[in-house]
Structure 1
Amino acid sequence: MVALLDEQSTPPSLSVSIGQASSAGQKSRNQDFHGALVPDERALSFKGITVALADGISTSEVSSIASQTIVKSLLTDYYSTPDAWTVKTSVSRVISAANAWLYAQNGFAGLYDVDHGHVCTLAAVVFKAHTAHLFHVGDSRIWRLSGQSLEPLTADHHVSLGAGEIVLSKAIGAASHVEIDYMCEPIALGDVFVLTTDGVHEHWHSRAVADVILESPTLEAAAQKILDDALAAGSSDNLTVQIVRIEALPNGDQTQFDMAAKTLPIPPLPREGAVIDGLTILRQLHANHRSHIYLAKTIDGEKVALKIPASDLKDDADGLRRFLMEDWIARRIDNAHVLGAPALIGPRSGLYVVTDFIEGQTLRQWMQDNPKPSFEQVRDILEQVIRGLRAFHRREMLHQDLRPENIMIDTDGVVKIIDFGATYVAGVQEAAPLREEDGILGTLQYTAPEYFSGAPVSWRSDLFSLGVIAYEMLTGTLPYGTQVGKVRNTRDQLRLRYRNARDDAHPMPAWLDDALAKAVNPDPARRHDALSEFGANLRAPSVSYSARRHVPLAERNPERFWKTLCGVLALLSLILATLAFD
């Protein structure tokens, strides 16, 4: 069965008009390179439209390779990055990778002088939903037509060497790492963006260019006119110009998730033996106010879990959106410790989600069966959860509802994170910026205090939830009781007081209690710097703990301390006596 969202008709989408022109000008070859890509509807929704140009430096014979490489990378590799990533993350990764490759080529070819290497400038814009994402390196520029004037949105990366000599301070391929200027701008219907190389904008008058854009019959004609005018004004460099006009914008309440929910009906609750689109219902597994989950089997006999939204959700757009996100997420995270979805093929007659079936028990049931687990049992489970959580975070996702009920342990002892109904996906949220997620989606006892205080959330918020689970596994209680749910502001958040997990009823090393306290610290900045660090601190004292708990030799071994001190004093006396007789 293909992904549910891919089966439905697509919502109203972003549309643009593009005009482009490029010329070698008075030079024998054109080292500029440019391109634009309007993808298919699915990629258009999640990735947007990309427009980019690059300008190879004139002192290099191979800079045209750099220009082509960076633009082609953006127009291809960007669309291969995870849909869950934001535009900023995706494009920055692509640019950094291309920059590293170009820099390496300079080394392989012995081109250690930047002026003769695989070096170019870059100006790129990704139009996604209602936002323009701008990326800039060097002295190519991005402009916006405002009224009848062009306003520059980027600043050249130049350094003056004196005597009128100016050189680039940043360029693609010039160093192993490149700093990318990034900004995002809201867009509206009719907005016009212009990208240019210096061979164009150093030989134009912005007011005249604005008139050309407004008066030309097409953007293609306008681009060519701007290029011709720059040549006539004396430009001796390569010239490239791109013009983009916003023709249509997607409706904020017409995302692919909304359209899928409107296209298919919620099916009636099936009985045992019923068949839904080739899936035979075996029995009901679970039901709550959000959904009904059934064990089913495919035509090939594979067991799967089929989830149908509760009828109460039929008029709840946000609830249905979160329901559909579970299918979307399950098909985009391939990790042994995260619930996946089977690759089935076939049309759907109703609104439901199919995922892998896990034979086992929830962590909650396991905790009830094992009220006094060994440290090693706890570590093994938590380390598997950490591996699953890292798969979320690497895709810019926050689970946001990590609790014992949402962690499964199968019959082989493999731990899997389930239930993605509260998961935040940065790239999807970016694609539907008008949608606001209100309220606390997670379970109060396990939700980080920053959700209640209104402070920024991050992957450390999931770490807090994991820390609470670890604390509960070892003690049977919660580190703050019910106090977290009462937090209303930052002051309340910082007033939370941690209850030591180490006591007579729950003996454990002090350093282990310290690791738990750090994971659930009310201040996110004072939690661990990585999930793997928390995992390591569950097995051995942290460096900071060891430093804080260093006991002087006089306290650890008084007898040895005094013997050593006496020996040192005796040696010192001998040395002084020898010096006195000399």
Structure 2
Amino acid sequence: MMTQKQPSLVSENQLDVSFGGCSSAGVREHNQDAFAAHKPTRVAQLNHKGASACIADGVSCSQHGQQASQTCVTQFIEDYYATPDTWGVKQAVSRVLSSLNRWLYHHSQQSQLRHNGFVSTFSAVVFKSATAHFLHVGDSRIYRYRQGKLLQITKDHCRQGLGDKGFLTRALGIDSQVEVDYQTHELQRDDIYLLSTDGVHDWLSNTQLGELLSQQTDLEQCANDIVAQAAMAGSNDNLSCLLVKVNTLPYADISELNQQLLHRVIPPVLEQGQSIDQWRVEKILYSGSRSHIYAVKSPRYQQTYLMKVPSLSYQDDLDYRKAFIREQWIGERTSSPLLMRIYPQESRFLYHLCQFVPGITLRQWMFDHPKPTLTEVRNVFSAMAAAVRALQRIGVTHRDLKPENMMLTPSGEIVLLDYGAADAQGLADSESPADAIPLGDLGYIAPEYIDGRADHQSDIFSMGVILYEMLSGERPFKKRSVTYQSSRQAYDWQYQPLSRHRQDVPFWVDQVIKRACHPDNRERYTSMSELVADLSTPNQAVLTETENAPLLVRDPVRFWQGVSGILLVIVILQLLIAFS
């Protein structure tokens, strides 16, 4: 068990926000409004999840309005911070609100009266890095007060009915599916965000709200003043407002993680028996132009670990350091046994301390099985797919899937290694865009990654290439160049039929592989599970395509044998005619 304290990977210039709020039943007997706010005390969680504030207004005609609004704000805060750090804000909040809406709708259906359901408006802001993420459904509102100007950010989802009272067109719990407005704005220091229910903003104009905010010296007192002013204006509803002020912002040009690593030193190449910090090199496993990998042990622990150290030639390469810390960030957040862990370390040196995974690489397995049976390949590929899906579930695209980065354990599982080229949606919210030059092996990466784009379908492409290589020992596309500068022209993206190498593999299997590594991602599989299913049992579309394919494609050997036979007959006939 590792007991080292996780280092603080942040700069002194950190995101900081403060809150102040007030809620009153007003003239009503019950208060069906609710709000909540949270700023993590742990720096790591503040970096990866940010601070959040939300407000909800339960439908007043329902007996369950108060429970609905309270559930919305408390469960949103709790569930959002429980999502993986690797998920981006949009992905995380979408999952949370969809789940919350389904819960409210299900309980609404249990009520015998249609108007007595669990229905609530909902508005929230997530403050992450230098960005505000806004979520909104219903007629509660979010405003921004900046440099003396008040801006209403959200739009009400309601329609005017008979008389003065409108009715909601969208809210949580109304239907089994909900459309939530989502937008992002860049934060500025001293911004103030106001979240309010209609009992406040229906009775105070933007001018009045702006004047109250301009006079604020204390957020809590200002929130109380806003509620009091709305009540004095004649509000006949519950009154709630929540204020959030941006006090400081992190550096926007470079992530805190990269700032931390700028001061770490790449150690020299180590020999067996040498030590760095508490770790003694037991064996040199790999030494290349980009990195060195050692098996290491410490007197404090029984087990063996891997140490990955950058090459000294990358001491001043900022892009390489960014990729290295991205790998650390992702590796620390893997919890599946199919994904190699990277453990946090406090050191003045730059290196990764990684989980030691017993077994052989998939490349070694391919050397040992130059012509495997289809059953053997299916079994190994299913294990590969399970590992890649475990990575996808935490919102990470590997972007460098190849046989060298897959370890086949004695139990038959595949464990993914090396996240140096990986990309997580959670990093996209706080870091600059990923490297323009692809970091993966050009022989396995998808064409769109070469052009600077990659997602889970890009990993499916790589899996298709590996599958082809496992069966044939070759790759499905011919190489034209070995440099990235030629972009898509580095390869001829014309698929080479598997039958050129393996006559014993059914043609429909070839069609499955062809779709898996199709150069156009619109023609490619969209999910790993669908690929695994089709590889085991072909679906009807694959069988139909197989039956309709010309003989030259389905069985080129039989085709050319037929052509040769016809030509031989023609030659014989010509000879007979010539000598007759």
| TM-score with structure 1 setting the length | 0.87
Q: Kindly tell me: are residues 484 and 70 of structure 1, through their superposed partners in 2, closer, same or farther at Cα, counting changes over 3 Å?
A: farther
User: Deviation at 1:337?
Assistant: 2.6
Identify the range of structure 1 (9-18 vs 401-410) with the bigger mean alpha-carbon deviation.
9-18
Residue 351 of structure 2 is matched in structure 1 by 352
Q: Deviations over 1:407-447 (max 9, x none)?
A: 12234433221111000011022122x35422111111111
**Partner deviation per Cα, 1:35-62 (whole Å, 9 max, x = no partner):** 2111121111100010111111111222
Match of 2:76 in 1: 74
Pairwise CA distance, 1:467: 0.7
Matched residues, number = 546
**Normalising to structure 2: TM-score of the pair?**
0.87
Report the CA distance between 1:63 and its aligned residue: 1.3
Percent identity, aligned pairs only, is 34
* Kept after mapping to 2: 8 A contact 1:5/1:260: no
Match of 1:284 in 2: 284
**What per-residue deviation string (whole Å, max 9, x for no partner) do you get for residues 170-219 of structure 1?**
22223333322211112222333221101111111102211221233233
Superposed counterparts of 1:414-429, under 5 Å: 414-429=413-428
1:238 aligns with 2:238: yes
1:17 paired to 2:15: no
Matching residue within 456, 467, 486 for 1:459: 456
SS in 2 for 1:502: helix
2:447 to 446, 449, 452: 449
**2:9–2:44 Cα contact (<8 Å) kept:** no
What's the Cα RMSD here?
A: 2.8
Name 1:565's counterpart in structure 2.
none
Separation (CA, whole Å) in 2 of partners of 1:300 and 1:233: 69
The equivalent of 2:103 in structure 1 is 101
User: What is aligned with 1:64?
Assistant: 66
| Contact 1:358/1:410 (<8 A) preserved | yes
Instruction: Indicate the residue corresponding to 2:571 in structure 1.
Output: none
Q: Distance in 2 between matches of 1:237 and 1:378?
A: 66
**Residue 509 of structure 2, aligned match among 492, 508, 512:** 512
Higher alpha-carbon deviation: 96-105 or 289-298: 96-105
Deviation at 1:287, TM superposition (A): 1.5
Partner of 1:439: 437
In the TM superposition, 1:263-282 aligns within 5 A as 263-282=263-282
Specify whether residues 494 and 284 from structure 1 end up closer, same or farther in structure 2 by C-alpha distance, changes over 3 A only. closer
How far the C-alpha of 1:99 sits from its partner, in A, is 2.5
- What secondary structure is seen at the aligned counterpart in 1 of 2:465? helix
- How far apart, CA to CA, are the structure 2 residues paired with 1:268 and 1:491? 37
From the superposition, tell whether residues 155 and 494 of structure 1 become closer, same or farther in structure 2 (CA, over 3 Å).
farther
User: Which residue number in structure 2 is paired with residue 482 of structure 1?
Assistant: 479
**In 2, Cα distance between equivalents of 1:327 and 1:494:** 32
Q: Structure 1 residues 494 and 545, CA, compared in 2 at 3 Å: closer, same or farther?
A: farther
Q: Which residue of 1 aligns with 2:469?
A: 472
**Which amino acid in structure 2 is aligned with residue 360 of structure 1?**
G
Q: Which amino acid aligns with 2:54?
A: A
Tell me, in whole angstroms, the C-alpha distance in 2 between the residues paired with 1:481 and 1:188.
51
Please, which moves more after superposition, 375-384 or 351-360?
Answer: 351-360
* Residue identity in the other structure for 2:321: L
1:27 aligned residue: 28
The change in CA–CA distance for 1:490 and 1:350 in structure 2 (over 3 A counts) is closer
- Structure 2 CA distance for partners of 1:287 and 1:141, relative to 1, 3 Å: same
- The Cα offsets for residues 273-300 of structure 1, whole Å up to 9 and x where unpaired, read as 3344443321111112222111122434
* 8 Å contact from structure 2 (residues 273, 282) kept in 1: yes
Post-superposition Cα deviations, 1:2-24, rounded to whole Å, max 9, x if no partner, equal 68863455552112233322211
Q: 1:118 to 1:160 in 2, by over 3 A?
A: same
Q: C-alpha deviations, 1:333-370, integer Å up to 9, x for none? A: 2223322346x9x8545332111222332222222232
- Does 2:173 correspond to 1:173? yes
CA distance in structure 2 between the aligned counterparts of 1:36 and 1:176, rounded to whole angstroms: 27
Within a 5 Å distance, the mapping from 1:532-551 to structure 2 comes to 532-549=529-546
Asked whether the equivalents of residues 19 and 220 of structure 2 are also in contact (C-alpha less than 8 Å), the reply is: yes
| Contact 2:479 2:491 (C-alpha < 8 Å) held by counterparts | no
Which residue of structure 2 aligns with residue 502 of structure 1?
499
Amino acid at match of 1:507: D
The CA deviation at 1:164 is 5.4
Given that 1:11 and 1:255 are in contact with CA atoms closer than 8 Å, whether structure 2 keeps it comes out as: no
Structure-2 residue corresponding to 1:572: none
* Separation of aligned partners in 2, 1:442 and 1:269: 24
Question: In structure 2, how many angstroms separate the alpha carbons of the residues matched to 1:483 and 1:542?
Answer: 34
What CA distance in whole angstroms lies between the structure 1 residues aligned with 2:243 and 2:504? Answer: 69
Q: Determine helix, strand or coil for the equivalent of 2:375.
A: helix
Equivalent position of 1:118 in the other structure: 118
Partner of 1:250 in structure 2? Answer: 250
Equivalent position of 1:303 in the other structure:
304
Give 5+ residue unaligned stretches, structure 1.
552-582
| Partner Cα distance (2:377, 2:152) in 1 | 57
Amino acid aligned to 2:186? P
Cα distance between partner residues in 2 of 1:370 and 1:428: 39
Report the Cα distance in structure 1 between the residues aligned to 2:486 and 2:522, rounded to whole angstroms: 16
Note if contact 1:32-1:53 (Cα within 8 Å) is conserved in structure 2. Answer: yes
Any gaps of 5 or more consecutive residues in structure 2?
549-580
In the alignment, the residues of structure 2 paired with residue 490 and residue 232 of structure 1 have an alpha-carbon distance, to the nearest angstrom, of 67
Instruction: Quickly say closer, same or farther: Cα 1:513–1:295, change in 2 above 3 A.
Output: same
Give the 3 Å change call, closer, same or farther, for CA 297–495 of structure 1 in structure 2. closer
Task: Output the CA distance in 2 between the equivalents of 1:272 and 1:491.
Answer: 42
